[in-house]
Amino acid sequence: IVISSFNVSYARNMHSTRRISSFLILSQRLTCKKPCFLKVLPTVDGNRKLSICSVNLNKEEFPDLYPGTDLKITNTLKILDPLQQEGIPVYQVLNASGEVKNKDEDPKVEKSVLVNVYKMMIQLNSMDKILYESQRQGRISFYMTCYGEEAIHFGSASALNDVDLIFSQYREQGVLMWRGFPLESFMNQCYGNENDLGLGRQMPVHYGSKVHNFVTISSTLATQMPNAVGAAYALKMQKSNSCAVCYFGEGAASEGDAHAAFNFAATLDCPIIFICRNNGYAISTPVKDQYRGDGISARGSGYGIPTIRVDGNDFLAVYNVTKKARSICINENRPVLIEAMTYRVGHHSTSDDSSAYRSANEVKYWKDIDSPINRLRNYLENKGWWSEEENENLKKEVQKNIMQAFLKAEQTKKPAVVNLFSDVYDSWTPRIKKQYEDTMKHVQKYPNDYPTNKFAT
């Protein structure tokens, strides 16, 4: 509504500023029944018209008390103390004895699927033992086990679709195993031989497979998280009917990249499942020294992300929540955070000795009393779907298959030296070519120091 207007010469001299200022002073002397503001409008003859306009404040048009929020006013001073609030509960289907307390929550997974899951848990456990011991013998350079976290791997992987894009950390080899990554490929990667998909350029346990939609692992904590969100946003734009899945530990959740990823996913409504395996330790730092408040789940709620906390040693519970989370991602284009409570039974890696910061009894409890493998086995035995005899036969068969793949990888030559220089650029630059030639001259000059017979040509 124009209350008053004035023609303003579009002056090209030093007095133009003074003219505008006089109008501003004049506007302050006007009496408006409503809040008003000045607006300069162009006219047909090339001049400017200064209008004093009223502001229409309509509560119906601005219903929120504060922009973007739906808050209520209180006249009582109360500072919320998160330590005094009730924590987010842990969702569980199977207890440690393998019993389902609430029958309505049993997903009733088929026998064949459950037996296959159990077999893969045993296979993963056995592979971890063999590769860990091989590092101790000096046969490979490094390894990381995932003892105690098997239910998170297979519970989530079996609830996903194979087209979903996986961004893992470095303790999710079970997810890749579920998708069909062969034992030989695991061994080739840990040995870094010529059959390794990465041609020996990555350290052991840093798997990746384009065929299995499993993005190559990065050692640096939390770098995969914003990458995963970006991929999820792309999937949303493509309307691909798939989602991204990002695994990380509670230690990685303290990295800045984690918070950027959460906020990015929430504000852009990205179809991504964040799966935090809270295993109690960030290398040697226990959770009590990592954060205050209600763990990682509370952060999801704070960022506006649908969140659930689940018993990470319970295959059925992890399966249920992942299935539900994927449904939300696909049907609503929203992120979901799953905090899986579990325990890292093994050392952080072959570079760690966890006996320096935790007791043997603590580890023994989680290894023998409440491991995800024992819990699922109890469930199968309670249903009459598994026996001790089958268990012993399975262990022998699995160990035999793993050792065959292990020995084959060990005897395979390392990648050709030329692979040190390939794939840096699409085609070799003069500098790369010279580096290669200089390296080969050096190797040929000192043949006793470089066992080239162990490398492919």
Give the catalytic positions in this structure.
133, 219, 348-349
Measured CA to CA, the distance from residue 308 to residue 376 in angstroms comes to: 22
Residues 6+ apart with CB under 8 A from 330: 241, 242, 243, 271
DSSP assignments along 179-224, one per residue: TT--HHHHHHHHHT-TTSTTTT-S-TT---BTTTTEEPP-SSTTTH
Ramachandran angles phi, psi of 222, nearest 5°: 70, 0
Contact 312, 96 (CB under 8 A): no
- DSSP H/E element including 36: strand 36-42
What lies within 8 Å, CB to CB, of 182 at 6+ separation is: 405
16: three-class secondary structure by DSSP = helix
Cβ atoms of 193 and 413 within 8 Å: the answer is yes
| Amino acid code (one letter) for 301 | S
